[in-house]
Amino acid sequence: MTICPKCQYKRTVADTTPDWQCPNCGIAYNKFTATEKISRAEPKASHEKEKVIDPKIETPRQEESWLSILAASLLMFGSALYFYWLLSDFETHGGELRMPSILIGLYKAFGKFGIVGIFALLGFIVGGIAMNKKNEGTTKNMN
């Protein structure tokens, strides 16, 4: 025996309508069940309060974003210092230069200060991006 999900009519053996249709209200059981699932989900969403984010408050995601970019900038400056030290040692004492082949090519083309300059420039660029992100968050807080 099937019970209608809409009108709660209990189907009997004497009912002549098709098995998929309620004899009392006429709905198709499977269609009503599908729409009922959707309509039950919608009221929950409409009754719940939406989280309103105050644009004046800097969210942790914004804070993490500019901090991670700043960390990348510091990594670039650190790399520039490391390569300066490595190449100074190589030029002074000779020996084998252990670096990726692209950096060896840059060293041959631009010299020690070329590689150091590239990493320092990347550090400045990435640092500028980090400060720009930080200022965007600060500007939003002022508005």
**pLDDT at position 35:** 61
- pLDDT higher than threshold 80 for residue 138: no
Token pair belonging to 140: 């939003």
- Lowest average pLDDT, out of 49-63, 103-117, 127-141, goes to 49-63
Q: How far is 112 from 116, CA to CA, in rounded Å?
A: 6
Q: How far is 72 from 67, CA to CA, in rounded Å?
A: 9
Looking at per-residue pLDDT, the higher value among 18 and 39 belongs to 18
**Number of Cα atoms under 13 Å in the Cβ half of residue 46:** 6
Identify the DSSP state of 4: -
Q: Nearest 5 degrees, angle CA 8-CA 12-CA 17?
A: 90
Identify the DSSP state of 32: H
Confidence of residue 48 (pLDDT cuts 50, 70, 90): low
Residue range 7-33: mean pLDDT, rounded: 86
Q: How far is 76 from 79, CA to CA, in rounded Å?
A: 5
